Chain A
């Protein structure tokens, strides 16, 4: 074994420092999404980072960081936001006028293998629309996800929309053990027909059911998929699930999304609490889903009244990998420190008007200040501030009188 490396100068595996351009990019994404959610009428909610490790979603259990408080309770770092938001709604907000529109941009923690852009701490942005079970609500959430991805500059978007209730209706017609269902789901999820056939041969299902389940991985593509699915089964609940899917697809057409929306009836995994419409967003340059969401009508009743809900979330760290917005960083102007009250007032006014102004704290000479301004990418250096000698970054130098400076700096 090699000697262990000192840890004090490292971050734990799966965690990341963000600084300079990446930190600005991250904050820009967070702010852009908060603004966008607000424009769609969603109110922020900020749950605590830590919760009791109870009632966790089975899909997340393997990834949850757990520890003990001094009373001996097991605590968990939050691994998603849907569960705490469901708790807040189920215990506190349920009597507010419905539907509730809630949003968050918060950090979550999952002990995942740090690969393909996944980190153990990441920022999740998402929304939950609670208290309505209508196609309009499903479509609003999908359209909002599309708007969010467009707004933050994600290219080559595709949205795969599925319907868990369709698969649920088919399963309702079959007698299968949980372990069998799990293996069937895995084979369908991986589009592995051969493996699916092998699993089905081990079950007591009639051949007609084999055909039906083996069709699921092929039920992906355009609107015609829904008709193909309809022809496969007369089961009423399955037909109703498809009715709902078509209503949502029609509404998404009206949102202008017909070109990027695809149908995915092969989506059978998802989070274990999904009950209806589900969707995943994919984008150029990223090998995994960039956002995912769906309807979960039975989660909130674990905490309080029975309220239907639909929502989505996205990992901002993944978005950062595939977007490159122009975010101005660094200062606009660097001013020599002269200490005159009138000069300080001018600097304050520039800052109030939104300029990023650095006042030198090193008593640099003119040449040093100009070089520093250039190195920091500032648009101008202001030397000998009592006379307001301005050197623009292109090298041109001129003098501005103190009473005109606040007018002129806008042109630098």
Chain B
């Protein structure tokens, strides 16, 4: 009984939208040409023969699903999406871009409000799990109102008392007369890896992870200097 190992290309799930340009630039620096998807090609799946890889272009919220199920071996995704999905994947690297914060926001008058004294709080959010957990940890019972977008609207039309959302610059909040009330967490883009692929494609994954780690270290050194 001699059992041998076979080498297969790795599949990388890329997030459509705001993280894509930085993702593709970073992959390019470690020798992966992922511009074969996106960038106006309309292709959702394409091979990169030189790097023995193929790329999938998917909605950011779907990246953890593709990776957890093993349809992709690795993926790049915002930690906001990753935490919300509660996926069982490995997270070996933070990638240093796409930094944003999850906050509780509301009207300026609510600055003086003690959330613990509100008998019934309605919280609008694109991140229902994260919002629920944040308030649960403090023993505050809330009603979560899940929304897909434009969460800032909810307090303005009295759909909710407060909102929990991602802010980068805070300009959307400001434009709608809202202010940040509480900081919940910092997030950034992360590399995630399927649990089985870590072993079945160990060599390729180790090469990708250590390649990215080296580039990120160099970046950090440059920034410090």
Measured CB to CB, the residues of A under 8 A from B are 115-116, 143, 146-147, 150, 155-158, 160, 190-195, 217, 220-221, 255-257, 259-260, 262, 264, 280, 282-289
Contacts and interface: CB of A to CB of B under 8 A. Distances in A.
Contacts of A262: 199, 202
A195 B94 CA distance: 10
17 contacts: A156-B8, A158-B5, A158-B202, A190-B91, A192-B91, A194-B94, A221-B202, A257-B1, A257-B3, A259-B2, A282-B195, A286-B196, A287-B71, A287-B194, A287-B197, A288-B70, A289-B195
A283 B1 contact: no
Nearest to A117: B69
B1 A284 contact: no
Give the dominant DSSP class at A's interface.
loop
Contacts, number: 84
A50 B8 CA distance: 44
B206 interface: yes
A335 B67 CA distance: 52
Nearest to A189: B90
A343 B35 CA distance: 71
Interface of B: 1-6, 8, 67-71, 88-92, 94, 193-200, 202, 206
Nearest to A160: B199
Given A190-B90, A191-B90, A287 B1 contact: no
Given A192-B91, A287-B70, A287-B194, A158 B199 contact: yes
Given A116-B69, A286-B196, A287-B71, 16 more contacts: A156-B200, A160-B199, A190-B90, A190-B91, A192-B90, A192-B91, A217-B92, A256-B1, A257-B3, A260-B3, A260-B4, A282-B200, A284-B200, A285-B70, A286-B70, A289-B196
Contact of A259 (B4, B8, B70): B4
Nearest to B202: A262
A288 B198 contact: no
Contacts of B193: 191
**Most chain B CB neighbours (cut-off 10 Å) among A115, A116, A191, A193:** A191
Contacts of A255: 1
Contacts of A221: 202, 206
A303 B92 CA distance: 41
B195 A150 contact: no
